Chain A
Amino acid sequence: MGLLLLVLFPAGAAAVAYFVRSARLRLGLLVGTALLHLASTARLWADPVGPELGGWLAVDALGLLVLTLVSVLFLVVAVYAVGFLRTEPPRGGRVFVSGLLGFLAAATLVAVSHHLALLWVGMETTTLSLAPLIYHRHDRRSLEAVWKYLLLSSVGIALALFGTFFLAAAQTSGRPLLLEDLIAGGARLQPALLRTAFTFLLVGYGTKMGLAPLHAWKPDTYGEAPSLVAGLMAGGLTSCAFLGVARITQVTMAAGQAAFVQPLFLAFGMVSLVVAAAFMIGQPDLKRLLAYSSVEHMGLLVLGLGLGGVGPYGTVLHLVNNGLTKGVMFLAVGNVVLVTGAATREAARGILRRLPVSGVLLLLGLFAVTGSPPFGLFLSEFIILKAAIAQGHLMIALTVVALLAVIFVGMGAVVLDVIYSPSEVPTRGAGESLLLVAGPAVLLLAVLVLGLYVPPPLNRVLLAAARGLGVTP
């Protein structure tokens, strides 16, 4: 029952957290749950458990990656939240914590469910569990943000459900909507319905991933949500959404529909990169900037899937790196916001003098997120480029390079200005406590290590995860 427990105990913790009165106890519960979750996730690496509930719950390489990513990110965010809520008025603390824990439960469900309908339920729950967190500040802007987020994600998720039904309709044999049977019986799926299913699922989960042009909710939401929530969304929620896309990709690849799937992925990838580049130029708000950067990286993910060859390997590696890096960036920006009150260029100047540690984190994070060696993202982007060239997409490769350059200029212009320029506005709030910088620092270190050294077990899992996403011979 390990997997079921892994899903249930955060959910239970969420319920408990809602009724716990003492804030201290609540935070203890939050961090404790995160630690326990990470520990049990680590045990999954050591000795994998078999399928449960008749195969509805199981861990494969891809799920394990996403699960670990979410778990690590969540622990960091939980620790950060302790420092964050300390600076905040206590109002909403209960909802906040139980919302976080609810998200953990839902994300876990997404990661371990091998029944696509169950996966969809998990996805829905992630969406809803984060809504109150976005509305944390209870003002007009956050209200608008949560409205847009809910409307767009709900429409997307609904379309995903539509697609799931089509997938069920396409299936002629095996247990319905069970991943193993879908892949095993891939040849016997009805192609037309399968393609329809893929179309709707791509639009649905693509909306949650924030692929352009389905990304419109992202900047508004990330811009308004508290930074740690935004970080959790950019690192965790998008990874879950990508897992949804990856699952259906596994099925379609198994059904030999690569020729239908890959052009779509290429198109989404390039459009996302172009949109991100165009909207990053002269973007005055740090958090919106990061939102567009997230769009960019989602684009790279699907680009890798669309290229084939070593592309999928690059994609899964990029998934991990992107998740960690987004955590660094959003939490560092969160510290900036705590001190300056806003994430706009004018307000946030002079970071290096005001917040030395966060300033350095932000500086290094900028280079990490723009794929500079030796940070991990460089390695994954390198592999994706290699895939593009190896598959003969020279133009795509060159365009990607050009767009990455534009994106760097767009991000660098703001971030470096904010870091180095002297500030006009006065500082408010306390400086940076250890709770607020330790987490992002750890994540950054992890990203750095991943650029220099991929541990063999991780590499094995990455290879296994990539295998299903490529063209299976």
Chain B
Amino acid sequence: MSGLHELLLLCVVLTNFWVLGTTRLSSTIRATAIQGALLAGLPIALHPGWSLHTVGLAAGTFAVKALLLPAFLSWAIREAAVRREIEPLIGFSASMVLGAVAVALSFGIAQRIPLQESNSSLLIPVALATVMVGLLVLTTRNKALTQVVGYLLLENGIYVFGLSQAERVPFLVELGVLLDIFVGIFIMGIVVFHINRAFDSLDSTRLSELKD
């Protein structure tokens, strides 16, 4: 059923563009939630045969990436009372274009990196693309919260690639991913919270006192 996971991977890319394109923080978070759900589907699609390992992985992923983190983030924006990402460094259409460039680039790089016995030719490019889009969001957005979302995308990309190894490397890998994202996002959320309190705004451009 290789068609399925290819489909899922393409959807992942689409959600990336969704994140790039939307102005409303709430819909950004919705996009990440959907992406999380897609990623949860991936292990089953990649490794047919309902082994406990894959199922557990899918469930865990769904729980964390599709439910917990989005909930946490939307709670955070409710607390911080911010609705929309205003004045990003570059306009949304421009960032879409950049995202397209990033995707093209990652596909270009990916074909230079042959992955033997790989169950999908799309894995590496999509992973790279997601990573790059994540970095793109991290750099172009001003709101600390949006940057957290960018970090989340980055992690998702890595996760996608991690799945390709899920068979051979024991599940400590996935554990690593989940733990990392969980703790990372959680602590960042707390910091964001403090930022909001200290600067009564989530505008990370305010955070530029420390410089030479």
Contact = CB atoms under 8 A, between A and B. Distances in A.
Contacts of B85: none
A143 B212 contact: no
Contact of A161 (B177, B183, B212): B177
A279 interface: yes
Nearest to B185: A154
A188 B173 CA distance: 22
Contact of A168 (B138, B144, B165, B179): B165
Interface string B93-134: 000000000000000000011111000000000010001000
A381 interface: no
Interface in A184-220: 190, 192-193, 196, 219-220
A177 B162 CA distance: 13
Interface of B: 112-116, 127, 131, 135, 138, 144, 147, 151, 154-155, 157-158, 161-162, 164-165, 168-170, 172-173, 176-177, 179-180, 183-184, 187-188, 191, 194-195, 198-199, 204, 207-212
A141 B116 contact: no
B118 to A, nearest CB: 8
Contacts of B208: 144
B114 to A, nearest CB: 6
Most buried by B among A171, A177, A219: A177
Given A158-B154, A161-B177, A196-B113, A117 B172 contact: yes
B210 A193 contact: no
B188 A150 contact: yes
B193 to A, nearest CB: 11
B212 A145 contact: no
A155 B154 contact: yes
Chain A interface size, under 10 / 10 to 19 / 20 to 34 / 35 or more: 35 or more
B151 A151 contact: yes
A265 interface: no
B169 A177 contact: yes
Contacts of A154: 151, 184, 188
B168 A121 contact: no
Contacts of A171: 168
A148 interface: yes
A138 to B, nearest CB: 8
A141 B210 contact: yes
A224 B209 CA distance: 11
A77 to B, nearest CB: 22
A130 to B, nearest CB: 11
A143 B195 contact: yes
Interface in A126-146: 128, 131, 135, 139-141, 143-146
